[in-house]
């Protein structure tokens, strides 16, 4: 056989030696011309029967692999006829292999050869997919905890399994897993390696950025709520607004080209971060007449603002009313200016992530601290 199932070492395999002896030969024999000698029996593992497998058998095998947590698996079954359902013939799965053999599909003794290698690669690494899920980094001087929690809530409503590492704790799917300040690199790393998570939100204050750095290399969305020029971190020799700017710009620096930075249009220092973003920029502010928002919309880009007691989403000159401010519990009927900006920032992140307007509206109207 040109492609044996495994390496045959006669000196180490008693079954092979017995098979050779049974045919009247020894390992050193030279068979007569034209005489075939059976070296090893391999049952039916040399035959491809893909076209014969009953759909219910295929579904059962797939379920068995998922139950044990495998993406690729070999399923050993005992059946009389692979083209019939298992329950009709008292068939059963007897083994699940994490490292299945591929030869019976690539070079079958009978049956159609299958490009199984490329199929496995395409399954694990789909075209135009880079193995990333949405990561949202939230930073700023004030309000970052509220924004991070609200963004996580909106992602959860969209059907994502969300991990949130913030100063209130470590959350998985809105469930508090660990209490205390978890706006840290270590907590964020726990979220990123959790196989159940398919979206992550990280609160990253200036102290964490300086002492530990970011837990992610790139993010889909970066939110910068504000920058207090008087804020200082003397233990890191951060004593000026320019130095703090260089700290809080960090998440914006790592936004993916198809991502977005959500920036406060009312904060001149934060506005300057727009040029640092590799992706799109969405400005938010309570006043639509702020020059930054006016200029941004004139370029056909996105902005979020408040008009006549309503949260507005604008793309260029096109506008959509998202929600009445009076319906949003967090902002106290619009009286809490800081919370208004927090809501707008979270809405911007959700908009950048492609969450529908209806879900964003429902999320901000029902969110409470």
Percent of the chain with pLDDT over 70: 96
Distance CA 339, CA 361 (A): 16
Bridge pairing between strands 175-179 and 169-172: antiparallel
* In a domain? residue 56: yes
Same domain for 256 and 115: no
- Does the pLDDT of residue 204 top 70, yes or no? yes
Query: Do both 143 and 125 map to the same domain?
Result: no
Residue 331: both structure tokens together? 């902002």
Residue 2 predicted with pLDDT over 80: no
What three-state secondary structure class fits 85? coil
For the record, the structure tokens of 150 come out as 């609200």
- pLDDT value, residue 205: 94
Identify whether residues 202 and 91 lie together within a single domain. Answer: no
One domain, residues 117 and 147? no
| Confidence at 335, pLDDT banded by 50, 70, 90 | low
Per-residue pLDDT at 333? 55
Residue whose structure tokens are 């591929």: 102
For the chain, the straight-line distance linking the first and the last C-alpha, in angstroms and rounded, comes to: 69
* Mean pLDDT score of the chain: 92
Q: What strand order describes the sheet that includes 169-172?
A: 175-179, 169-172, 162-166, 199-203, 135-139, 219-224, 255-264, 280-285, 302-307, 310-315, 318-324
Identify the pLDDT of residue 170.
97
Does 332 fall in a domain?
yes
Are residues 149 and 186 part of one domain? yes
pLDDT digits (tens, 9 = 90+) for 280-294: 999 999 999 999 999
Same structural domain for residues 176 and 87? no
Q: Look up the CATH number of the domain holding residue 116.
A: 3.30.470.20
Q: What's the rounded mean pLDDT across residues 41-57?
A: 84
Task: Let me know whether 292 and 209 are in one domain.
Answer: yes
Q: What is the pTM of this model?
A: 0.75
Q: Which pLDDT does position 103 carry in this prediction?
A: 82
Residues 239 and 295 in one domain: yes
Q: Which residue has the higher pLDDT, 2 or 286?
A: 286
Whether 253 is in a domain gets the answer yes
**Confidence (pLDDT) at 249:** 97
197 and 322 in contact (C-beta within 8 Å)? no
- Structure-block tokens of residue 286: 């309570």
User: Average pLDDT for residues 70-75, to the nearest whole number?
Assistant: 92
Predicted pLDDT at 221: 98
Distance CA 49, CA 105 (A): 9
Together in a domain, 75 and 153: no
Q: Taking 90 as the threshold, does the pLDDT of residue 209 lie above it?
A: yes
Q: What average pLDDT score do residues 50-61 get?
A: 95
pLDDT in tens, 7-18: 778 888 898 999
Query: Are 110 and 221 within one domain?
Result: no
Domain of residue 349, residue span? 135-366
pLDDT band at 339 (very low <50, low <70, confident <90, very high): very high
Q: Looking at residue 368, what is its pLDDT?
A: 87
What is the pLDDT, as a whole number, of residue 45? 67
pLDDT in tens, 81-135: 999 999 999 999 999 999 888 888 888 878 899 999 999 998 888 888 778 999 9
Of 43 and 224, more confident: 224
pLDDT in tens, 294-312: 999 999 999 999 999 999 9
Same structural domain for residues 223 and 118?
A: no
Q: Between 359 and 329, where is the model more confident?
A: 359
Cα 185 to Cα 77, 129, 163, 213, distances in angstroms: 46, 26, 13, 7
| 19 within some domain | no
For the chain, give the percent of residues with pLDDT over 90. 79
User: Which of 129, 160, 180 is the last residue in one of the domains?
Assistant: 129
Q: Is residue 82 a contact partner of residue 146, using CB atoms and an 8 Å limit?
A: no
Look at the chain and report how many structural domains it folds into: 2
What does each C-alpha distance from 180 to 106, 216, 247, 289, 339 come to in angstroms?
A: 54, 21, 24, 40, 23
Is position 78 within any domain?
yes
Residue 27 lies in a domain: no
> Of the residues 129, 154, 183, which one is the last residue of a structural domain?
129
Predicted local distance difference test score (pLDDT) of residue 148: 97
For residues 145 and 120, state if they share a domain. Answer: no
Distance CA 349, CA 343 (A): 10
**According to the model, what pLDDT value does residue 336 have?**
73
Where residue 149 sits, what CATH number does that domain have?
Answer: 3.40.1190.10
For 117, counting Cβ atoms within 10 Å of its Cβ (0-12 exposed, 13-18 middle, 19+ buried), the class is: exposed
- Which domain-ending residue is among 95, 129, 163? 129
Residue 26 domain-assigned (yes or no): no
Structure token digits, residue 156: 């959860």
Confidence of residue 56 (pLDDT cuts 50, 70, 90): very high
Q: Mean per-residue pLDDT for 26-33?
A: 92
Find out whether 107 and 1 touch, Cβ atoms under 8 Å.
no
Q: Is residue 21 part of a domain?
A: no
């Amino acid at each position: 056989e040109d492609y044996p199932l495994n390496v045959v070492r006669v000196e180490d395999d008693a079954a092979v030696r017995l098979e050779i002896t049974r045919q009247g030969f020894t390992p050193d024999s030279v068979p007569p011309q034209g005489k075939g000698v059976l070296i090893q029996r391999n049952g039916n593992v040399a035959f491809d029967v893909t076209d014969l497998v009953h759909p219910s058998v295929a579904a059962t095998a797939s379920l068995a692999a998922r139950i044990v947590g495998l993406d690729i698996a070999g399923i050993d079954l005992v059946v009389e006829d692979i083209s019939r359902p298992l329950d009709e013939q008292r068939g059963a799965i007897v083994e699940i292999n994490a490292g299945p053999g591929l030869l019976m599909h690539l070079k079958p003794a009978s049956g159609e050869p299958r490009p199984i290698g490329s199929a496995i690669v395409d399954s694990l690494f789909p075209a135009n997919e880079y193995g990333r899920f949405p990561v949202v980094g939230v930073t700023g001087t004030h309000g970052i905890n509220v924004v991070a929690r609200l963004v996580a809530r909106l992602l959860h409503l969209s059907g994502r399994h969300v991990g949130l590492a913030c100063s209130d704790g470590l959350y998985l799917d809105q469930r508090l897993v660990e209490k205390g300040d978890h706006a840290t690199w270590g907590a964020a790393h726990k979220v990123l390696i959790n196989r159940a998570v398919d979206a992550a939100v990280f609160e990253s204050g200036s102290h964490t950025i300086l002492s530990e750095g970011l837990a992610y290399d790139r993010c889909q969305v970066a939110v910068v709520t504000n920058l207090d020029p008087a804020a200082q971190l003397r233990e890191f020799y951060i004593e000026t607004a320019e130095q703090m700017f260089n700290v809080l710009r960090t998440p914006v620096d790592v936004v993916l080209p198809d991502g977005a930075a959500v920036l406060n249009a009312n904060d001149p220092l934060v506005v300057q971060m727009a040029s640092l973003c590799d992706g799109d920029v969405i400005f938010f502010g309570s006043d639509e007449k702020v020059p930054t928002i006016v200029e941004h919309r004139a370029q056909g880009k996105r902005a979020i603002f408040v008009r006549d007691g309503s949260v507005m989403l604008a793309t260029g000159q096109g506008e959509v009313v998202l929600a009445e401010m009076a319906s949003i519990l967090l902002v106290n009927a619009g009286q809490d200016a800081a919370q208004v900006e927090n809501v707008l920032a979270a809405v911007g992140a959700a908009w950048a992530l492609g969450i529908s307007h209806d879900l964003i509206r429902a999320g901000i109207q029902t969110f409470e601290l």
